[in-house]
């Protein structure tokens, strides 16, 4: 399922030294790191506090070091202080790297907000924190080659340990790639592990939302040419439990929920807002799949057994893929969507103890939805000088909201909740701002609807004044940039215009 050239160049990054430890030292170090994470020493308390150990420190201690490590939200090593990703703004085409607020900490979202103020930005590169140079460039003209485009840099804001960050929010036609065959990626039948933190609410069945090892020629080169995590609602061979999304292995020529094309009774769906997905493969006989809630709890083992028939030995080529299948992007056939917060590819077959330590570190990181903080008051449409209004003070379901002269009335008083909702009225009349029909297309109506906890009722209030739908990544927009009373409000692709800027209170 996959994609040829890596980025033409990259800024020099100083990565922390990582050395393999002796076997006894590895065991001792892993135990110490697990203890430190489980007792809270590895948690974040805002962007200024660094982690005691990050996921890649834990992998290194277990003798399976990261050879590719990517995140838009935080450092994956306690000592990492370099760039996480690069953004490009539409106003003048300039780029800027977004790093961490402090070594081992959370992304400097304020730096991105300042650079992108008054315009729109896309993410062009996600830098490799491992020191191997496996930086992921978008698959398209000016990037890694192909026909895809870079993802918006502001589709989803969230908090990590209380500090604001942005996700890599991938829609169909967005993807990233790098040829890492000479940069430490496992090749042939070499053992490999991988994990990613993704979202159980921004998914589809398009092929294929992957992260991991892929073909260097961006063609489907046969069984075993890929070794990547897939997360989505596609179940190629049937029998997956529920309606998904599922953690599966994209091994080329198939998405596998287990060791064959038949039903895996241990496979289950992961629908939480933040999901940990893991895959490890010894390259010759065995692979394992695990999943869990990235906010709390442990991992569920979905498969731990034989490789599917025809996949031994593996034939890994060493490209790194993110957001698509490997053969997709020369003809722009990438139809997948998903969210990427962090992930890594490691050399070797991680132990279960290391898997558990990494999951504990992720849960301690403090992933949480929404931004902009709680608050209540009128939601001002900046471009029009009016307020978001429920027509005729309706308390019925499905009213499309509009802009109207500000009055301070109840039908213009909105409350931003800690879970990212925007509510109007109170008590039994309480309603939520809702993307009608869970729509993700331009022109989707913004309506009021009973609050139900679904992602089409979750909103991110961003520093640039936009309000973006968590499910769609689209901006709350005054139709036709109108300034007239009664102008309808809808969802539309973010464009940096004043009819997409709002202020609460």
Per-residue pLDDT reduced to its tens digit, 376-428: 889 999 999 999 999 999 999 999 999 999 998 999 999 888 678 899 998 89
Burial 22-49 (b: 16+ CB within 10 A, else e): eeeebbebbeebbebbeeeebbbeebeb
Cis peptide before 313 (omega within 30 of 0): yes
Burial class (CB in 10 A: 0-12, 13-18, 19+), 454: middle
Q: Identify the active-site residue in 128, 252, 361, 458.
A: 252
Catalytic residue flag (residue 92): no
Burial class (CB in 10 A: 0-12, 13-18, 19+), 117: middle
Would you state the pLDDT for residue 112? Answer: 92
Mean pLDDT of 187-202: 96
What interhelical angle do 23-38 and 352-365 show, nearest 10?
Answer: 30
Q: Identify the active-site residue in 327, 361, 434, 458.
A: 327
Which of 66, 61, 58, 65 lies closest to 24, judged by CA? 61
pTM of the model: 0.74
SS3 61: helix
Q: What is the mean pLDDT of the chain?
A: 87
Domain spans of the chain, in order of start: 23-369, 375-504
**pLDDT tens readout for residues 340-363:** 999 999 999 999 999 999 999 999
Cα separation values, 75 from 56, 100, 135, 391, 492, Å: 9, 7, 15, 46, 32
64 has a pLDDT exceeding 80: yes
Distance, CA of 464 to CA of 458 (rounded, Å): 18
Catalytic residue flag (residue 252): yes
Q: Which CATH architecture has domain 375-504?
A: Trefoil (2.80)
Q: Which CATH architecture has domain 23-369?
A: Sandwich (2.60)
């Amino acid at each position: 399922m996959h994609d040829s050239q890596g980025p033409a160049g990259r800024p020099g990054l100083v990565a922390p030294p990582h050395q393999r430890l002796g076997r006894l030292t590895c065991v001792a170090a892993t135990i110490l790191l697990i203890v430190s994470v489980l007792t809270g020493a590895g948690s974040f308390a805002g962007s200024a506090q660094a982690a005691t150990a990050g996921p890649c420190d834990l992998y290194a201690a277990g003798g399976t070091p990261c050879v590719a490590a990517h995140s838009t939200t935080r450092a994956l090593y306690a000592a990492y202080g370099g760039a996480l990703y690069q953004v490009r703004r539409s106003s003048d085409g300039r780029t800027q790297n977004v790093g961490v607020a402090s070594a081992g900490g959370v992304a400097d979202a304020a730096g991105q907000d300042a650079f992108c103020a008054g315009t729109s930005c896309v993410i062009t590169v996600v830098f490799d924190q491992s020191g191997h140079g496996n930086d992921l460039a978008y698959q398209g003209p000016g990037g890694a080659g192909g026909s895809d485009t870079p993802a918006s840099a502001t589709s989803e804001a969230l908090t990590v340990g209380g500090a604001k960050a942005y996700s890599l929010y991938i829609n169909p036609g967005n993807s990233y790639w790098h040829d890492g065959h000479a940069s430490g990626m496992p090749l042939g039948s070499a053992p490999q592990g991988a994990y990613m933190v993704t979202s159980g609410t921004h998914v589809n069945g398009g092929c294929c939302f992957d992260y991991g090892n892929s073909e260097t020629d961006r063609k489907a080169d046969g069984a075993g040419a890929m070794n990547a995590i897939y997360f989505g609602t596609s179940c190629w061979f049937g029998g997956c439990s529920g309606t998904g999304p599922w953690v599966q292995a994209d091994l080329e020529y198939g998405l596998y929920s287990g060791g064959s094309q038949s039903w895996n009774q241990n496979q289950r769906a992961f629908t939480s807002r933040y999901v940990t997905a893991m895959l490890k493969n010894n390259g010759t006989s065995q692979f394992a799949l695990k999943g869990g809630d990235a906010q709390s709890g442990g991992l569920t083992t979905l498969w731990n057994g034989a490789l599917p028939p025809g996949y031994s030995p593996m034939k890994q080529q060493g490209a790194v893929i993110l957001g698509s299948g490997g053969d997709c992007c020369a003809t722009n056939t990438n139809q997948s969507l998903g969210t990427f917060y962090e992930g890594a590819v490691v050399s070797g077959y991680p132990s279960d103890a290391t898997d558990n330590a990494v999951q504990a570190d992720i849960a301690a990181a403090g992933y949480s939805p929404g931004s902009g903080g709680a608050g209540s008051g009128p939601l001002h449409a900046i471009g029009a000088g009016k307020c978001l209004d429920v027509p005729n003070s309706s308390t019925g379901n499905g009213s499309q909201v509009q802009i109207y002269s500000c009055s301070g009335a109840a039908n213009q008083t909105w409350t931003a909740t800690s879970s990212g909702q925007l509510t109007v009225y109170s008590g039994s009349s309480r309603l939520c701002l809702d993307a009608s029909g869970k729509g993700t297309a331009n022109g989707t109506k913004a309506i009021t609807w009973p609050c139900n906890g679904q992602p089409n009722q979750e909103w991110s209030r961003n520093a640039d004044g936009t309000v973006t739908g968590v499910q769609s990544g689209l901006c709350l927009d005054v139709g036709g940039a109108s300034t007239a009373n009664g102008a309808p409000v809808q969802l539309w692709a973010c464009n940096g215009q004043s009819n997409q800027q709002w202020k609460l209170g």
